[in-house]
Structure 1
Amino acid sequence: MIEDVKIDSQREAPGGATAVTPEPGKPASLGKLVEQISEQASRLVRAEIALAKAELTERAKKSGIGVGLLVLALLILAYAAGVLLLAAVYGLGTVWPLWLAALTIGGFMLLVTIILALVGVQLLQKGTTKPESVERVKDDIASIKEAMNR
């Protein structure tokens, strides 16, 4: 994709004709040189923009594919967790009655869920409070104002 971006070797003058480079023996006038510099600068900017667009498009495609694969992996993980939990119920069911094995595994899952939820809520509460540095800055400003009023 990036290789498709090319800079045109021919340039057109404002009138539609192709710009003529001066002969090797003839020096170009200052006006022509300035015109060539501005044309080349604008072509360079357009080429850089086209290259940046191509790079961003390529990265976006790769990122999209990566996100899709991660979602698929999470979906398969969810099914695998269900199968493993069912296997745990059946395994425990060889020792206990099947209903008691299912109740035990379900209760364990509920306990883990409650613990994870409580820890998550605590972390969210810590993350949404104002940082201590903000309070310290306010205290510093108040101290400076107080010292200035003395």
Structure 2
Amino acid sequence: MSAADDGRSIGQLVAAATTELSALVHEEIALAKAELRQDVKRGVIGSGAAIAAGALLLFSLPVFSFAAAYGIHNLGLGLAWSFTVVGAVYLVLAAVLLLLAKAKLSKVEPPRRTIASAKESAALLSNVKPHPRAVPKGRGEARPVEHVSRSSA
């Protein structure tokens, strides 16, 4: 089917192809952003839980230190055991938060759909080759015109 069969010129077809390619690239970027946003959210929750676990572990160290000091001093079931129980509760909370952090951080993965889509687009575009344009007749002999980018001009 030629350009004349559907009523569009080659310029219109090129413009349509350019528009569709631009839309494809924008959609792939949007997909990548959505996947990364989801992974960042998981990472923030997991990191927050790990930081909280670290803080609780840090808070438990002086408690156990005081408990050990009072325990050696008393050598009985007095005030030291109460400090020990509080310290053990902190350690249990820290363990729960570390498990939450591990569960959330293990779900973070690369954006597979975006990578697959980009590979498909790259494979499709790798077969497209630009055709050199000829200088219109009347301006010398027909020869390909080299493209000059705006940034280098």
Which band: TM-score by shorter chain?
0.3 to 0.5
Structure showing greater Rg: 1
More helix as a share of residues: 1
Could you state the TM-score of these two structures normalised by the residue count of structure 2? 0.40
